[in-house]
Structure 1
């Protein structure tokens, strides 16, 4: 009886795991169709499984390439941004000349953009000085790569809009930190962060406030020559700036004006 029991256990452990896989024997086309159907229904977990099986069983050919690209999108929709970025990078590395490689760059930008929501998705709940702008900068780099390499891409126009938004957000972050230092009397640090904003994002809306902080910080430090230089630039570019009357107490951030 013990021998029979052992044989039964061994037979159960050695059974083929694909026996219960309903997709066993499916063609690449059928797996891809099932993945597309699942995507259409918003069943991202099912779509992921179908695409992963497709790539594993049929690693070559057009279906495999399409599966690699769509996996990046499906991972993103499944709230797996790390896997989405890895899949997009892998596609770019394996197929640098693929007609859809511009989409891979665009998708990388979208993943990082939405991961951070352009820095301002939850500003009401988190101090900007505590935020890490890494995702925003990486999103900007991906969009920039797309626009530079594929200026005629159908994703280029939207990428440019998102780049402009990110520039404004990143500039606003620098100015926010500069304002934070001003309020705490760290005038050198405030001047340095305001200067970074002015030099890095000269066209952003937040530069008006950055220039005002520069003037105020240099004045507090007794650096009269630098203060006067900054004030000349301020008055030339923003002659009617509200900061002359309101100071640094802003009531409405730039992103809420939209």
Structure 2
């Protein structure tokens, strides 16, 4: 009799515990349904199948609710990793994060996709999104140009690895812009040294622009600053060569007009020395 009573007590306790658990779960589910911003993937509950989550994400995108759409796509990746649904969700997750201006998150998600699916049908697009996310973070030339360098690296992968994709043209445009930023940074530093009459340091910066960024908008000024720097040092042959290369490639440039006047004021004129590094670099410029 005592044993039967003990078993009954244990059964009663078990039933009570299960009832409490069910009540608690019901409360959580109710909370999830009433608050769309709760991340249900963190609650340890059964959730919608990936196809349904994916469609919910698309519906939220269409409605303009990108934050909720991003959460839906992330939930698919967390719950069904390395599946086809997860692959598709990673693409959309990268896109929504980019559109939300969460650029670092977009880069992280996009790079993970590229590591897992480098040859998929969407890989060119995802790599392009990574490049765009870097490009959006490029700052003016007075600041560090890390994002410009990252943009070049990311977009060059689009050009090299997916040469027939529809994103190549814009990727090349973004590369040109980023390169112009890097050249602009060199010019900013070079002008700083020039103003302080630290001519050798200034020349090193202007030379880098002429030799390595010849297809940017900065090269005209770089050549003119070389004329100015070399002339100030008394290295007239190099000053004349820089002016000659500037005049040959950009004859209508105001920078050439100013350089010509500077030399003329000292009784000199543009004259190219074919043995100079400036002459060799000039042969590779856009207008050569």
TM-score (norm 1): 0.79
Question: Which residue in the other structure is 1:171 paired with?
Answer: 183
- Distance change in 2, residues 1:161/1:47 (3 Å): same
SS at structure 1 position matched to 2:188: helix
Q: Distance in 1 between matches of 2:256 and 2:61?
A: 54
Given that 2:250 and 2:256 are in contact with CA atoms closer than 8 Å, whether structure 1 keeps it comes out as no
Structure 1, residues 158-217: CA drift from partner, whole Å, max 9, x if none?
212222222233323322332233223232222111111111111222201100111111
Aligned pairs (5 A) from 1:95-244: 95-116=117-138, 119-120=139-140, 128-129=141-142, 131-244=143-256
Question: Which residue in the other structure is 2:265 paired with?
Answer: none
Q: Distance in 1 between matches of 2:253 and 2:111?
A: 45
Question: Which residue in the other structure is 2:13 paired with?
Answer: none
Q: Distance in 2 between matches of 1:241 and 1:153?
A: 37
Q: Distance in 1 between matches of 2:120 and 2:208?
A: 38
Structure 1, residues 210-253: CA drift from partner, whole Å, max 9, x if none?
00111111112223333233233223223333124457xxxxxx
SS at structure 2 position matched to 1:21: helix
Structure number with larger C-alpha Rg: 2
Q: Extract unaligned runs of 5+ from structure 2.
A: 1-15, 34-39, 41-45, 260-288
Q: What RMSD in Å do the two structures reach over aligned CA positions?
A: 2.5
Asked whether 1:73 is paired with 2:95, we answer: yes
Asked whether 1:53 is paired with 2:80, we answer: no
Q: Extract unaligned runs of 5+ from structure 1.
A: 1-6, 121-127, 248-258
- Structure of higher RCO (CA pairs closer than 8 Å, 6+ residues apart): 1
Q: Distance in 1 between matches of 2:248 and 2:166?
A: 39
Structure 1, residues 40-69: CA drift from partner, whole Å, max 9, x if none?
222222112111211122224221101112
Q: Give 1:136 deviation, angstroms.
A: 1.2
Question: Which residue in the other structure is 2:270 paired with?
Answer: none
